[in-house]
Amino acid sequence: MAARVVIFFKTMQAARCPTDELSLTNCAVVSEKDLQSGQHVTVKTTPNHKYVFTVKSHHTVVPGTIAFSLPQRKWAGLSIGQEVEVANYNFDKSKQCIGAMTIEIDFLQKKSTDSSPYDSDKMASEFIQQFNNQGFSVTQQLVFSFCDKLFGLVIKDIEAMDPSILKGETATGKKTKIDVGLLVGNSQVIFEKAESSSLTLVGKAKTKEARQTIINPDWNFERMGIGGLDKEFSDIFRRAFASRVFPPDIVEQMGCKHVKGILLFGPPGCGKTLMARQIGKMLNAREPKIVNGPEILNKYVGESEANIRKLFADAEEEQKRLGANSGLHIIIFDELDAICKQRGTGASSTGVHDTVVNQLLSKIDGVEQLNNILVIGMTNRPDLIDEALMRPGRFEVKMEIGLPDEKGRVQILNIHTAKMREFNLLGGDVDVKELATETKNYSGAELEGLVRAAQSTAMNRHIKATATVEVDMERAEKLKVTRDDFLGSLNNDIKPAFGTNQEDYSSYIMNGIIKWGDPVTRVLDDGELLVQQTKNSDRTPLVAVLLEGPPHSGKTALAAKIAEDSQFPFIKICSPDKMIGHSEISKCQAIKKVFDDAYKSQLSCVVVDDIERLLDYVPIGPRFSNLVLQALLVLLKKPPPKGRKLLIIGTTSRKDVLQEMEMLDAFSTTIHIPNISTGEHLVEALELLGSFTDQERVTIAQQVKGKRVWIGIKKLLMLIEMSLQMDKEYRVSKFLSLLRDEGAMDEGNQIRV
């Protein structure tokens, strides 16, 4: 760093820079009588401290003085009037030309900060133009004017230019650090934002900031207690976090904006809240703010809106202070539908819901946009939420968290039995895959409840309930949760909210299916074909079949049997007996809920029983509910969501009425369920039921042989049970008498019942 030739040496007095314009030149200002502009000097302030400056002459400077700007005096530790030794300095251009210089930059005055992006490439070009052929030292401070803004700079690092480049040869790639260098036209200037600065730099002439990965390195699905949501997590990651993981330079160049909102919806107990909580743990972000929707609401005017503003206050303050360097702020809204209902629909005169929605809209994506927030909303009722919140830029990523499939159920059960497996408390006969197969349409919460119920059953075996309740410690040490504990809990304790409730349809087929002839077999075979079509055909995700026939012919029992044999995970019977006393609107809502629940399962079967009763049809008048009719017409034709399949089985005793109502067209096909119409079929049914002895059946067969009868299987069963209450010798005659009493023996020898 020592000068090669000293041609000037003088003691001079430090002075204040005469004008602001001269302060921006980064030069020490001298009299024309002392030095010429463009010369380089060393200024020795103490025996051990020398500083290199480029000088500029000006007529206002008194000879014998050297004027410095405030940043220069700070850097060199100079005071006004201090005597310094000034000597000429010559740069060795083979070693001291600047190849690359890293400069720390910030606004000179904090009050002049703004969030506008500054192009570092233009800044570097302007810097070289302003300060070309000037000397710079590491730690040097200076002021730089760019775009009518003043910036404070500190030289952080200087690399010498490769000597091969100066000779016109290919660069060797060798890098040499130097303390003092000369800025030339092809030097590279790199800007680095000062720590905690709110300055936003764009372009290539800036340092690649050391980025802390947004994803925690120890993130693990199973350890976090999440199972069956792999696809949902990957979809959320692709949409919401890919832009946050990518290098900011590339994101800037693409003009890409981060996703600010995620809406998780689906049935209760499927892991929405758990997933939102774990997203907060997964990310290296500020501690998530978790808010229950109803907590926001306040009876005082303006307080609910103020509560919303408080949630975003920290993110706003940090973005103003740090700009793009701000950390990610996560706000989690549980039960979002409580505060974000459709505007204009509230019955309350205060309109508090509307103003809360307005406030939330403006905060997520209003005029002053925040780019450092991620809002996660959760709801079971996405249909209630204001549509303005659902557009891109707000709750942009909408993810259904549905019931887990079999693979997901295996994951969830493994998570909840892991601790027992670790401490050898799980019986060897417990097969998680078997349990996953048996728990169709169980939500994650219900699977956790199943494990708890099995544990309770196992622990209960080791409790002695005498005068006091005690634990048998000797046996308790050998505690094992066995397969029987799980199966017992499965059958008795935990039932899925969305799925097959066997009690629902078992009452309809408690007497079994009496296959009294080919007509019944054909109906069951056709039903099996329709089930297979629903399962296997991608062209017909919705299959609707109508079982029609006279009253008491067993239509409901056959529909329930077809549904049971399908083994679909979701089977529901929509029947009039569950809607007694319902108004037309509540009946429509109940029917719609059955179908909405069905859409949540991969494979579903809905039995719409006794349609004319659902429609409140009576022949006198005639009268029926047009509201229910229109609802059924829409639901029977509405295809399920993509990837879901639905089989609808309707039953009716009045096909002619449905024909007049134009409802038959809503069904894919119609299957006729006949009554027993011949004596042979009647005897076959008696034999299958096994109620009469062989001799009694022979007697009945002789009486009905060759005669035509007309009786439904349900009515037949009722007459048989009445007859069996008689003494043995009167049972047959009573049965035949009941057959005649129900109808009449006409001229064609036909018994009609």
Give the catalytic positions in this structure.
Answer: 555-556, 609-610, 637, 714
Could you give the CA distance from residue 631 to residue 633 in angstroms, rounded to a whole number? Answer: 6
For residue 300, count CB atoms less than 10 angstroms from its CB and return exposed for 0-12, middle for 13-18, buried for 19 or more: exposed
| Tokens matching residue 556 | 């409901």
| Tokens matching residue 424 | 């050898």
Q: Are 608 and 650 in contact (CB under 8 A)?
A: yes
Distances (CA, A) of 542 to 323, 378, 537, 634, 642: 52, 29, 10, 13, 11
Distances (CA, A) of 92 to 54, 96, 133, 135: 15, 6, 13, 12
Closest CA to 678 of 617, 746, 751: 751
For residue 90, count CB atoms less than 10 angstroms from its CB and return exposed for 0-12, middle for 13-18, buried for 19 or more: middle
3-state secondary structure 76-130: HCCCCCCEEEEEECCCCCCCCEEEEEEEEEEECCHHHCCCCEEEHHHHHHHHHHH
Q: Write down the residue that tokens 């024309």 correspond to.
A: 32
Residue 558: strand, helix, or coil: helix
DSSP 178-222: -SEEE--TT-EEEEEEPTT---EEESSSB----PPPSB-TT--TT
Could you give the CA distance from residue 674 to residue 655 in angstroms, rounded to a whole number? Answer: 13
| Tokens matching residue 182 | 């000369």
Q: Are 418 and 281 in contact (CB under 8 A)?
A: no
Which contacts (CB < 8 Å, 24+ apart) does range 273-280 have?
273/334, 273/378, 274/225, 274/226, 274/444, 275/226, 275/229, 275/232, 275/233, 275/401, 276/332, 276/334, 276/376, 276/378, 277/332, 278/224, 278/225, 278/226, 279/236, 279/330, 279/376, 280/330, 280/332
**Number of alpha carbons in the 13 Å side-chain half-sphere of residue 720:** 21
Q: Are 533 and 543 in contact (CB under 8 A)?
A: yes
Could you give the CA distance from residue 452 to residue 487 in angstroms, rounded to a whole number? Answer: 13
CA 753 to chain centre: 60
Helices 731-742 and 694-704: angle between axes, nearest 10 degrees: 30
| Tokens matching residue 456 | 């309770």
**What's the Rg (C-alpha) of the chain?**
43
Q: Are 450 and 409 in contact (CB under 8 A)?
A: no
Which contacts (CB < 8 Å, 24+ apart) does range 235-240 have?
235/397, 235/399, 236/262, 236/279, 236/397, 236/399, 239/396, 239/397, 240/374, 240/397
Closest CA to 413 of 492, 478, 490, 491: 490
DSSP 426: B
Could you give the CA distance from residue 328 to residue 330 in angstroms, rounded to a whole number? Answer: 6
Closest CA to 640 of 689, 669, 605: 605
Could you give the CA distance from residue 158 to residue 100 in angstroms, rounded to a whole number? Answer: 6
H or E stretch including 375?
strand 373-379
Residues present in the chain in total: 753
Could you give the CA distance from residue 500 to residue 402 in angstroms, rounded to a whole number? Answer: 16
Contacts of 753 (CB under 8 A, 6+ apart): 709, 710, 711, 712, 715, 716, 719, 739, 742, 743
CA 595 to chain centre: 24
